[in-house]
Amino acid sequence: MVLVGRKTQTRRLWKRRRMLPGSTHQARTRLFGEPFALLSVQRVWQEAIGEVSDENANAEGYSSRDDFLAAFTRINGDVPPDEVVWCVEFKATPVAT
């Protein structure tokens, strides 16, 4: 999803900002796995998880807000709708092999 541009945003339960616009980070499928892409951070902001729109759910790689929220809950456990999360918008570039 990341490499074909279907996923261009991610939401995280960070206590503080951990990425800045303009920074570049490696994308991996496992913590110590080989990177498959470089992510160029375009924008970082905060919002309540319950305020995620269908448009943002699409940018997360899901077909609807409900699908995204179900996946977020599977990954992170029950999160109240007013819980503030960090949102990161990025552009991906494949890592040359």
pLDDT of residue 97: 66
31 — pLDDT class (breaks 50, 70, 90)? confident
Range list of H helices, 1-97: 54-59, 65-76
Cβ burial, residue 47 (10 Å; 0-12/13-18/19+):
middle
**Which CATH entry fits the domain spanning 9-94: 3.20.20.140, 3.40.50.970, 3.10.400.10, 3.40.190.10?**
3.10.400.10
Strands in 24-27's sheet, in edge-to-edge order, are: 9-12, 84-94, 37-48, 24-27
Nearest partner of 68 among 9, 3, 4, 5, judged by Cα: 9
Three-state DSSP at 28 gives coil
pLDDT digits (tens, 9 = 90+) for 35-74: 999 999 999 999 999 999 999 999 999 999 999 999 999 9
Task: Give the global pTM.
Answer: 0.91
- Domain positions in the chain are 9-94
The angle at the Cα of 24, spanning 85 to 15, to the nearest 5 degrees, equals 25
Residues 81 and 54: their CA atoms lie apart, in Å, by 15
